[in-house]
Amino acid sequence: MAPAPAHAVLISGASSGIGRACALDLAAGGFRVFAGVRRETDAESLRRAGGDRLHPVMLDVTCEQDILKALGDIRQALDARERFALVNNAGVALSGPLEATSSEALRDLFEVNVVGVLSLTRAALPLLRERRGRIVNIGSTSGRFASALLGPYCASKFALEALTTSLRLELGETGIQVSIIEPGVVATPFWDKMRSAEQRLLREMPEALRAGYADRMAARHVLIERLGRSGMAPEEVALAVRHALSAKRPRKRYVVGLRDRIRAAAAARLPDGLRRAIATLRGRGAASFRR
């Protein structure tokens, strides 16, 4: 699965977790990697770890100026025969009861997980067309199966699934291949960020709402803590990304973490009442765990 003679890739959100693992894996595999970061310290850390194939670029996917500058710089840097691909990885978590989710928080989430993906993709398309490129989006099991207290994030990843399919169909004749990676639980800083945000949300929630959700949210905090530790390594996701970028026939969809997928699919088949009962039992368990 060696890359084409010369192959460059832009990865958004490469400061940590899956993005960083992809950047290091692809650089080690012979790709020239343009790694999107938002802080100079992250750029420096990537430079040190990734060697001379890794070029950090400042990229906030919600900032049109950043997007245009990053792609302009990449265009200048590409060699005549170099192919180019885009990995849309940057993403944020937002969980908690939908009833307690503000429209502003939902907009901020979609701005990164959905609008940011389209903004970066749209701006990259001229280059992708010229260079017979590929697009790889990092979706999630949560983009296929929705669950309670994860509604905002699930909605953004469902939207990304739709966006990926439409793009794939629209670009079919251009030769640009579009894939989506659907990881289960991956051990990255994502889970700590989600837990802190949920704890804040719980603290700030009006008392009337808190009473109705506190037990289930406490159960989720215990679960999130466990997931953050026990998830698969981000390098497993990087392998799927590498396949999507290098295989002669990349797949439309890569499920990474079959066990998580089976668990989510099985939960989705349970009657709603049973799913709620399980969540309540977990909530009681967590409440007694905290006492």
Ligand X SMILES: NC(=O)c1ccc[n+]([C@@H]2O[C@H](COP(=O)([O-])OP(=O)(O)OC[C@H]3O[C@@H](n4cnc5c(N)ncnc54)[C@H](OP(=O)(O)O)[C@@H]3O)[C@@H](O)[C@H]2O)c1
Active site residues: 153
CB 92 within 8 A of CB 139: no
User: Nearer Cβ to ligand X, position 36 or 97?
Assistant: 36
* 31 touching ligand X, by CB under 6 A: no
Q: In terms of C-beta distances under 8 Å and separation of at least 24 residues, what long-range contacts does 159-167 make, across chains too?
A: 159/110, 159/113, 159/114, 160/113, 160/114, 160/117, 163/114, 163/117, 163/118, 163/137, 164/137, 164/139, 167/121, 167/135
How many residues in the shown chain lie near ligand X by CB under 6 A?
30
Q: Which one of residues 189, 225, 276, 280 is an interface residue with ligand X (CB under 6 A)?
A: 189
Is residue 231 a contact residue for ligand X (CB under 6 A)?
A: yes
Q: Which two tokens stand for residue 66?
A: 């950043």
Task: Select from 16-24, 98-106, 197-205, 267-275 the region that touches ligand X (CB under 6 A).
Answer: 16-24
Minimal distance, residue 236 CB to ligand X, in Å: 11
Task: In whole angstroms, give the CA distance from residue 224 to residue 227.
Answer: 5
Q: Is residue 185 part of the contact set for ligand X (CB under 6 A)?
A: yes
- The interface mask with ligand X, positions 33-72, x = CB under 6 A, is ---x-x--------------------xxxx----------
Instruction: Provide the binding-site residues for ligand X, judged by CB under 6 A.
Output: 12-19, 36, 38, 59-62, 89-92, 112, 116, 138, 140, 183, 185-186, 188-190, 193, 231
